[in-house]
Structure 1
Amino acid sequence: MATKTNRLWAIAALVVIGTGFTACLKSVDTTPSRPVAAFAAINGIVSSVAVDFYDNGTKATGSAMSMGFAGINYQAYGGVHKFDFMKTTTSTVWATSTYAYDSLQYYTLVTYGDSSAAYVKPIHDDFTGISSTNVNIRFFNLSPNSGAVDLYLSDTKVDSNLTYVGNTSVSTLFKSLSGISSASTIKVTAAGSKLALATLNTATLRGGYTYTLFLAGMKDSVGPLKPVVGYIQSLY
């Protein structure tokens, strides 16, 4: 099964293997590899200015994250981490979270709000009940003024009445989409309407894999804050 194979590789990826400089050692280092936690990040902060990502006071990424960014296979040892999302090239913290994380676990850091009031939600990813044949998804509405929205994959409505994350709890679970083994188009509409707020036509969603989909930006904006749809594939 695809998910089982992915899981085995993912667990292996969460173990730090200290082989980079072993050729310089005169004796064999038998210290067990130390496991880590893996993090993805989604930047939904409504701003034309990007953010930098810091872990316990140290900049953890080389490039700034613009609104709608989704990515990072960031790995860190388990324990307490203070994650800051800072206005790029400054010391201004826009969103921050301090939380204790476990090794060999997967987390998603989701930011939302705007530069005057931004927040980050650490999510412990839960893969219970995912399908090995269907596409598995969850969706976050990060657009503060779009209201409730409906979600379509390749013209099939897969979820409805999805409200802004600032007004509701976020899902740690992924859900299996019965009968959907692939999709290339993600469309978000206003709830009860087929008029698209944002569409992504270049998605690659495959059965047996898990994806976090999201809407970011401001409804009716046509500039850098216009609504965008994005997604990120879990390492699971």
Structure 2
Amino acid sequence: MMKRLLSFACLLLFFGSCLKTPSNTNNSNQQYAYISFLHLAYYSPAAELYFNDSLASTLLNPLQFSGSYGHFYPVTYDVKFKTSTGTVLGDIPSSAYDTAQFYTLLLYNDSVNGSAKVVKIQDDFSAVASGQAYYRFFNMSPSAGAVDLYLAGNKVQSARTPADNITQPDFNAFNAYAYGYYTVTVKKAGTDTTLGSASQVGFQSGVAYTIFIDGPKDSLYLNVLTAQY
């Protein structure tokens, strides 16, 4: 069994530097919507992100993601993830992105070798404050089944099923937790069988994190992403 924590240095794609549309600008007087993306469709090919048919990213392999939220004009966008040959893997047609709001575009598979789907998640940082760290957990591994999440040996979430945050949006909210350095462990639900683990992961005061798993259950990928905006 392989347990891997993906390297930020290897996988972070800095959204702003990838954009090829006028939506990304350094004009400090402009009001923006803030958008990040995660390509967690492990069983799907690499894809490029398009906003209103304008290329907005480099070619993204599965398990690649933006390193921070990109700044975009707050308008309506038709979002598509396309392969290098132009095949649309998933799209969100004519969806509004509002001023000073944060969004994550998540490309995922809901079954092993299944087709890709995409969802827009509205990220709420309004409760994030100093004195606590904040986390949420995405089970994006179709083959992992139900899992339990542990921080420093304490079970903090139980029986999380693949892509359950899509049908139960409350799982997209950030949960307060004491800041510090912890081992993050994912186990098969209701058992002591470890599917993935990462030690000495730093959770800082006033910072929000997305923990996710993806890939095959016997070689699970586990990562902890820092929200940067």
Give the TM-score range, shorter chain. 0.7 to 0.9
Q: Is the 8 A contact 1:85 1:96 kept in 2?
A: yes
Q: Which amino acid aligns with 1:136?
A: Y
Higher strand share: 2
CA distance in 2, matches of 1:197, 1:134: 27
CA distance in 1, matches of 2:202, 2:65: 15
Aligned partner of residue 124 in structure 1, secondary structure: strand
Cross-structure match for 1:135: 133
What RMSD over aligned residues (CA atoms) do the two structures have, in Å? 2.5
Q: Is the 8 A contact 1:45 1:115 kept in 2?
A: no
Structure 1 unaligned regions, length at least 5: 1-14, 19-31, 221-225
Cross-structure match for 1:229: 222
Q: Is the 8 A contact 1:71 1:232 kept in 2?
A: no
Cross-structure match for 1:57: 53
Q: 1:2-13 alignment to 2 at 5 Å?
A: none
Asked whether 1:70 is paired with 2:65, we answer yes
Q: Percent identity?
A: 29
Asked whether 1:47 is paired with 2:43, we answer yes
* Max Rg structure: 1
Q: 1:182-221 alignment to 2 at 5 Å?
A: 182-201=180-199, 203-220=201-218
Cross-structure match for 2:7: none
Calculate the TM-score normalised by the size of structure 2. Answer: 0.77
Q: Is the 8 A contact 1:150 1:159 kept in 2?
A: yes
Asked whether 1:105 is paired with 2:101, we answer yes
Aligned partner of residue 129 in structure 1, secondary structure: coil
Q: Which amino acid aligns with 1:175?
A: N
Note the C-alpha offset of 1:211.
0.9
Q: Is the 8 A contact 2:38 2:105 kept in 1?
A: yes
Cross-structure match for 1:26: none
Q: Which amino acid aligns with 1:147?
A: G
Q: Which amino acid aligns with 2:179?
A: S
Judge which range, 93-102 or 226-235, deviates more.
226-235
Distance change (3 Å), C-alpha of 1:83 and 1:184 = farther
CA distance in 1, matches of 2:151, 2:215: 20
Question: Cα deviation per residue 1:58-100 (whole Å; 9 max; x = unaligned)?
Answer: 21113x322222324322111111221222x220111111211
Asked whether 1:86 is paired with 2:85, we answer no
State how many pairs are aligned: 201
Calculate the TM-score normalised by the size of structure 1. Answer: 0.75
